[in-house]
Amino acid sequence: MKALESIAGFLADASDGEKNVLATAAAEAHREAVAHHLRADLASDYASWMEDMFVEGWDGNRRIP
pLDDT, tens digit (0-9, with 9 covering 90-100), for 47-64: 999 999 999 999 999 999
Residue 9 lies in a domain: no
| pLDDT surpasses 90 at 1 | no
* 8 A C-beta contact, residue 61 and residue 23: yes
pLDDT of residue 26: 95
Cα–Cα distances (Å) from 41 to 14, 37, 45, 60, in that order, read 26, 11, 6, 15
Q: How many domains does the chain have?
A: 1
- 3 state SS of 58: strand
51 located within any domain: yes
Q: Contact 43/30 with Cβ under 8 angstroms?
A: yes
Beta-carbon contacts of residue 52 (< 8 Å; ≥ 6 apart): 45
* Domain extent at residue 44: 15-63
* Cα R_g (the chain), whole angstroms: 12
Q: Is the pLDDT of residue 11 over 90?
A: no
pLDDT in tens, 14-44: 999 999 999 999 999 999 999 999 889 989 9
Whether 31 is in a domain gets the answer yes
Within a domain: residue 52? Answer: yes
